[in-house]
Amino acid sequence: MAIPTNIQGKVILAAAGPGDPDLITVKATRWLQQADVVLTDRLVSNDILTSYVNPSAEIIYVGKQCRKGNSTPQEIINALMCTHALAGKLVVRLKGGDVSVFSNILDELQVLKESNIAYEIVPGVTSALGAAAYAGMPLTARGYSTAVRLMTYYKSDIVPDDYWKELASTKDTLVFYMSAETVEGIVTKLIRNGVSNDTFIAVIEQATTPLQQVHAVNIYDFEKIQDIHFLSPSLVVVGRVAALHHEFAWLKNSEERKHYFKPVATIQNNSNNNKKAHVSRA
């Protein structure tokens, strides 16, 4: 669908995809080319900013990295979005993965609605789907699983105790976001609740980026990978489908262990130093 020109005072909540810059949608790139202001998350490839954003647009980094305590408060993001849109600017709020999966989109929608600001939502490839594809691990492979649950276990009270029994007995594929640091807890609870011994667990680091690494083992062999300090961002996939990685992987694990996405602090320091947050446009 063609995007009309001369749109003013509007916010586009757009997805950037999980890492590989080619996984952004054509529609999101069209909006980036027209944007006056881009408010970007941390988990967005720098290549997307340098390749698609209109060179005269202002890029503002509003990343979150809760465990590092460097997050941009949601109120500031809301205020930036509204102030620029009410000044007649076209604002693209760019989010990693898909816009609505484990994001703060609801806060942003509420504030846009209250402020009577027009908006559109552009979906994207969530990291679970990107990771599954780039790890050769079909999430609902016939004969293996008929459903996928997108979950998180970043703190223990998020999954009630009595739910683990159900999770341990289901044939569904479980994908945990924001849970690489708590993965041992997931394994312990599932084993304690009698998860079957054909269940595999995969931790997929920096999926779809050139630094992707996949660690997939039988859940009862988790000790083989438990000492790895998983690099952020990582996803945890539990289910029989995780074993398919060993048969169908088409991408080698990166030989380098370093971060693809910049930490929030570095980005914010850069943007504080410059009135406009410059990104290099190689």
What positions carry a catalytic annotation? 41, 64
CA-CA distance, 235 to 227, in Å (whole number)?
A: 16
CA-CA distance, 272 to 282, in Å (whole number)?
A: 22
**Binder among 96, 137, 172, 195 for ligand SAH (CB under 6 A):** 96
**Binder among 235, 238, 264, 279 for ligand SAH (CB under 6 A):** 235
Q: How far is the CB of 259 from ligand SAH (least distance, A)?
A: 11
CA-CA distance, 82 to 115, in Å (whole number)?
A: 7
- Using rule CB under 6 A, residue 18 touches ligand SAH: yes
- Using rule CB under 6 A, residue 102 touches ligand SAH: yes
Task: Choose between 85 and 97: whose C-beta lies nearer to ligand SAH.
Answer: 97
C-alpha separations of 181 from 105, 176, 228, 232, 235 in Å: 24, 11, 10, 9, 10
- Using rule CB under 6 A, residue 45 touches ligand SAH: no
Sheet containing strand 200-205, strands side by side: 148-152, 173-177, 234-239, 200-205, 213-218
Total residues interacting with ligand SAH, rule: CB under 6 A: 23
**Binder among 40, 127, 173, 271 for ligand SAH (CB under 6 A):** 127
- Using rule CB under 6 A, residue 95 touches ligand SAH: yes
Q: What is the largest CA-CA distance in the chain?
A: 59
- The residue whose two tokens read 């980005």 is 267
**Binder among 16, 77, 82, 101 for ligand SAH (CB under 6 A):** 101
Dihedral pair phi/psi, residue 89, rounded to 5°: -90, 155
Task: Choose between 36 and 182: whose C-beta lies nearer to ligand SAH.
Answer: 182
Compute CA 7 distance to the chain's CA centroid, rounded to the nearest angstrom: 28
- Using rule CB under 6 A, residue 271 touches ligand SAH: no
256 Cβ partners below 8 Å, 6+ apart? 211
Q: How far is the CB of 162 from ligand SAH (least distance, A)?
A: 25
Q: How far is the CB of 96 from ligand SAH (least distance, A)?
A: 5
Tell me the window of 200-208, 219-227, 250-258, 271-279 that interacts with ligand SAH (CB under 6 A): 200-208
Tell me the window of 94-102, 181-189, 194-202, 270-278 that interacts with ligand SAH (CB under 6 A): 94-102
Q: Tell me the chain's radius of gyration from C-alpha atoms.
A: 20
Amino acid, res. 116: N
In the complex, the residues that contact ligand SAH under the rule CB under 6 A are 18-19, 43, 95-98, 101-103, 126-127, 131, 177-178, 204, 206-209, 233-235
